[in-house]
Structure 1
Amino acid sequence: MTIVINLLVSVFVIILLQLLGMVVFSWMTPFKDMEELRKGNTAVALALGGKFLGTAIILGVAAYTNTSIWFMMLWFAVGYLCLVAAYWIFELVTPTFKISDHLQKGNVAVGTFLCMVFIGTAFAVSSLII
């Protein structure tokens, strides 16, 4: 019975952290992500998908490598901060244009590249968690 309770609590915390991560990412953009998705904005969908997969990779590795929910949450926070930093670094190294403007305009190239930045960062950071 204890194993089932631990599993349920872990799954609940994982879902909560994933949702929290996505909410924080949505605060970083000046537009409403869901509104852009409803419009069919592929660039925003790619960037949002990269954010989701990036947080899921970090969260999955943090959950797999830690027996304590607290340590899992700590490592997720560290990895998540790295994803946020990756976004802002990407913004800094592209001073000729603003990423959020290009995403909102539907620039699929920017959305795809940002997606890969998030996924790549998540894989790299996850290797530190292990």
Structure 2
Amino acid sequence: MTIVINLVVSVLTIILLQVLGMVVFTLMTPFKDMEELKKGNVAVALALGGKFLATAIILGVAAYTNTSIWFMMLWFAVGYVCLIAAYWIFELFTPGFKISDHLKQGNVAVGVMLCLVFVGTAFAVSSLII
């Protein structure tokens, strides 16, 4: 019975952290992500999908490598801060334009690049967790 309770608590914690992570990411953009998705904005979809996948990678590695739910949440927080930092660093390295403006305009190249920045950062940060 204890195993089932631990599993349920772990799964609920992972879902809660994933949702929380996505809420924070959507608050970082000056536009409404879901409205842009409804319009069919592929650039925003790619960026949002990259955020979701990156968050899931960090959560998965944190869950796999930690037996304590508290350490899992701690490592997730560290990884998540790195993802947010990656966004702002990417913004710094593109001084000629604002990323959020290009995403809202549907610039797929920016969406793909941002998606890969997030996923690449997640893989790199996950290697620190192990």
Shorter-chain TM-score tier: over 0.9
Measured after TM superposition, the shift of residue 119 of structure 1 is 0.2
* CA distance in 1 between partners of 2:33 and 2:69 (Å): 30
**1:1-130 matched pairs, under 5 angstroms:** 1-130=1-130
TM-score for both structures, normalised by structure 1: 1.00
For 2:7, the aligned partner's letter is L
For 1:11, the aligned partner's letter is V
Q: Which runs of 4+ in 1 moved over 3 A?
A: none
Measured after TM superposition, the shift of residue 45 of structure 1 is 0.1
Q: Deviations over 1:10-43 (max 9, x none)?
A: 0000000000000000010000000000000000
Q: Deviations over 1:21-79 (max 9, x none)?
A: 00000010000000000000000000000000000000000000000000000000000
Measured after TM superposition, the shift of residue 85 of structure 1 is 0.1
Measured after TM superposition, the shift of residue 98 of structure 1 is 0.1
* CA distance in 2 between partners of 1:35 and 1:65 (Å): 37
* CA distance in 1 between partners of 2:23 and 2:95 (Å): 26
* CA distance in 2 between partners of 1:99 and 1:73 (Å): 29
Task: State the Cα RMSD in Å.
Answer: 0.2
SS at match of 1:58: helix
